[in-house]
Structure 1
Amino acid sequence: MSVFTLDQAQKDARLLPRLIELTERHRARGAAYANILAATGHPVGRVYRDTAELPWLPVRLFKTRALKSIPDEAVFKVLTSSGTTGDVSRIYLDKEAAAAQTRMLGATIQTVLGPRRLPMLVVDTKAIIKDRRSFSARGAGVLGMVTFGRDHVWALDDEGRPSLAAVRSFLDAHGDRPFLVFGFTFMVWLYLYELAREHKLDLSNGILIHSGGWKKLADRRVGNAEFRRAFRSDTGLTRIHNFYGMVEQIGVVYLEGPDGDSLYCPDFADVVIRDPDTWEPLPPGRPGLVEVVSTLPESYPGHVLLTEDLGVVHGVDDGSWPGKRFSILGRLPRAEARGCSDTFVGASV
Structure 2
Amino acid sequence: MSVFTLSQAEKEKVLLEQLSGLVEHHRERCEPYARILAANGYTGADSVADLPWLPVRLFKNLDLKSIDDDEVFKVLTSSGTTGEVSKIYLDKAAAATQTRQLAATVQTVLGPKRLPMLLVDTKAMLKDRRSFSARGAGVLGMSTFGRDHVWALDDDGHVDLDKIRAFLEKHGDEPFLIFGFTFMVWLHLYEVAIDNGLDLSNGILIHSGGWKKLIDQAVSPEEFRRRLAGVGLTRTHNFYGMVEQIGTIFLEGPPGGSLYCPDFADVVVRDPQTWAELPPGQPGLLEVVSTLPTSYPGHVLLTEDLGVVHGIDDGDWPGKHFSVLGRLPRAEARGCSDTYKEAA
TM bin, normalised by shorter chain, reads: over 0.9
Look up the SS of the partner of 2:338 in the other structure: helix
Length-normalised TM-score, structure 1? 0.98
- Which residue identity does 1:330 align to in structure 2? G
Which residue does 1:304 correspond to in 2?
Answer: 300
Decide which of 244, 250, 258 is 1:262's aligned counterpart: 258
Residue-by-residue CA offset, 1:95-119 (whole Å, 9 max, x unaligned) = 0000000000000000000000000
Look up the SS of the partner of 1:300 in the other structure: coil
Which residue does 1:247 correspond to in 2?
Answer: 243
Moved over 6 A (4+): none
**Aligned-pair distance for 1:339?**
3.4
Residue-by-residue CA offset, 1:126-157 (whole Å, 9 max, x unaligned) = 01112110000000000000000000000000
Contact in 2 for aligned 1:270/1:292 (Cα 8 Å):
yes
Decide which of 31, 38, 58 is 1:61's aligned counterpart: 58
Determine the C-alpha separation between the residues in 1 that align with 2:342 and 2:120.
12
Contact in 2 for aligned 1:82/1:343 (Cα 8 Å):
yes
Determine the C-alpha separation between the residues in 2 that align with 1:34 and 1:345.
39
Which residue does 1:110 correspond to in 2?
Answer: 107
Decide which of 159, 167, 171 is 2:164's aligned counterpart: 167
Look up the SS of the partner of 1:261 in the other structure: coil
**2:5 is equivalent to residue 5 of structure 1:** yes
Look up the SS of the partner of 1:37 in the other structure: helix
Residue-by-residue CA offset, 1:214-252 (whole Å, 9 max, x unaligned) = 00001111111000000102x111000000000000000
- Which residue identity does 1:272 align to in structure 2? V
1:1-349 aligned at under 5 Å gives the runs 1-42=1-42, 46-233=43-230, 235-347=231-343
- Which residue identity does 1:150 align to in structure 2? R
**Aligned-pair distance for 1:346?**
2.4
- Which residue identity does 1:21 align to in structure 2? G
Determine the C-alpha separation between the residues in 2 that align with 1:317 and 1:289.
21
Length-normalised TM-score, structure 2? 0.99
% same residue: 73
**Aligned-pair distance for 1:259?**
2.1
Look up the SS of the partner of 1:196 in the other structure: helix
Determine the C-alpha separation between the residues in 2 that align with 1:47 and 1:56.
13
Determine the C-alpha separation between the residues in 1 that align with 2:318 and 2:308.
16
Determine the C-alpha separation between the residues in 2 that align with 1:261 and 1:218.
16
- Which residue identity does 1:40 align to in structure 2? N
Determine the C-alpha separation between the residues in 2 that align with 1:41 and 1:183.
43
Aligned length in residues:
344
**Aligned-pair distance for 1:345?**
1.1
Determine the C-alpha separation between the residues in 2 that align with 1:195 and 1:166.
12
Look up the SS of the partner of 1:318 in the other structure: coil
Determine the C-alpha separation between the residues in 1 that align with 2:169 and 2:114.
18
- Which residue identity does 2:229 align to in structure 1? R
**Aligned-pair distance for 1:33?**
0.4
- Which residue identity does 1:243 align to in structure 2? F
Determine the C-alpha separation between the residues in 1 that align with 2:216 and 2:44.
47
- Which residue identity does 1:137 align to in structure 2? A
Determine the C-alpha separation between the residues in 2 that align with 1:254 and 1:260.
12
Gaps of 5+ in 2: none
Look up the SS of the partner of 1:333 in the other structure: coil
- Which residue identity does 1:178 align to in structure 2? P
- Which residue identity does 2:273 align to in structure 1? D
**Aligned-pair distance for 1:253?**
0.3
Determine the C-alpha separation between the residues in 2 that align with 1:207 and 1:26.
39
Determine the C-alpha separation between the residues in 2 that align with 1:340 and 1:8.
30
Contact in 1 for aligned 2:20/2:44 (Cα 8 Å):
no
Contact in 2 for aligned 1:159/1:346 (Cα 8 Å):
no
Determine the C-alpha separation between the residues in 2 that align with 1:228 and 1:72.
45
- Which residue identity does 1:230 align to in structure 2? R
